[in-house]
């Protein structure tokens, strides 16, 4: 994690204005959505993932076969019927 600090402006309605360098480093683009959360008193702002960015992301688990997916759907269907 970088310790580089940049001063930002806060507008009269609470808007936070960032810099081009920060947008480039974080992948935030004008017109796109971002998500924010507070962690240990710090404001964390990240680009909101899009469907395309999620598809391009490396998988954390191995691919599932079609038969495994069908079985999973059957199991879920049965669990939902029990409710």
At 36-62, the pLDDT tens digits run: 999 999 999 998 988 877 777 777 778
The answer to the question of residue 64 being in a domain is no
Average predicted confidence (pLDDT) for the chain: 88
pLDDT level of residue 77 (50, 70, 90 thresholds) = very high
The pTM (predicted TM-score) of the whole model is 0.52
As a whole number of angstroms, the distance between CA 26 and CA 24 comes to 6
Per-residue model confidence (pLDDT) at position 3: 67
Domain total for the chain?
1
CATH code for position 8: 2.10.260
Per-residue model confidence (pLDDT) at position 4: 82
Strands 34-39 vs 16-17: parallel, antiparallel or unpaired: unpaired
Q: How far is CA 46 from the centre of its chain?
A: 7
Range of the domain at 48: 1-52
The answer to the question of residue 17 being in a domain is yes
The answer to the question of residue 68 being in a domain is no
Per-residue model confidence (pLDDT) at position 16: 92
């Amino acid at each position: 994690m970088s310790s580089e600090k940049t001063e930002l402006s806060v507008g009269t309605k609470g808007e936070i204005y960032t810099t081009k360098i920060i947008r480039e480093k974080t992948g935030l683009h004008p017109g796109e959505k971002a998500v924010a959360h507070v962690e240990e008193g710090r404001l964390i702002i990240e680009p909101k993932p899009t469907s395309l960015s999620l598809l391009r992301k490396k998988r954390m688990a191995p691919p599932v076969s079609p038969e495994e997916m069908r079985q999973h759907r059957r199991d879920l269907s049965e669990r939902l019927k029990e409710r």
